[in-house]
Amino acid sequence: MMKKLDKKAFEAIDNEESDLMKSIEGEQWRPVKDFKKQKVKAVAAAQNTLKKDKRINLRLTQKDYHQIQVKAVEEGIPYQTLISSIIHKYLNGSLTQKL
């Protein structure tokens, strides 16, 4: 039996997360068969997702380069990580044009 979560400790950020929390609290989840094997697969998938094994060369204007560096400092991350994050978000549809 899963331990009930303290509702004050977690507040859902959107409807999807709220539904997920309700399903957990409603004990609708069951352990997977062969947990060790599934864990190894999940860890490998996570590592492959995070592995950055391709390089690109990119030419930017001096102004864009400077602005990327400023934004990266504001975010507290390296500018290469910021560029990679922007590309990833764009490709996954979570980065949209400001209207």
pLDDT in tens, 65-91: 999 999 999 999 999 999 998 998 899
Q: Is the pTM of this model over 0.75?
A: no
| Structural domain harbouring 43 | 15-47
- Give the count of domains, the chain: 1
Whether 23 maps to a domain, the answer reads: yes
Residue 3: its pLDDT value, please?
Answer: 57
| Those residues with Cβ within 8 angstroms of residue 86's Cβ, 6 or more apart along the chain or in another chain | 95
Quote the CA–CA distance of 25 and 5 in Å, as a whole number. Answer: 7
Whether 27 maps to a domain, the answer reads: yes
Residue 58: its pLDDT value, please?
Answer: 92
Give yes or no for residue 5 having a pLDDT over 70. Answer: no
Whether 20 maps to a domain, the answer reads: yes
Whether 32 maps to a domain, the answer reads: yes
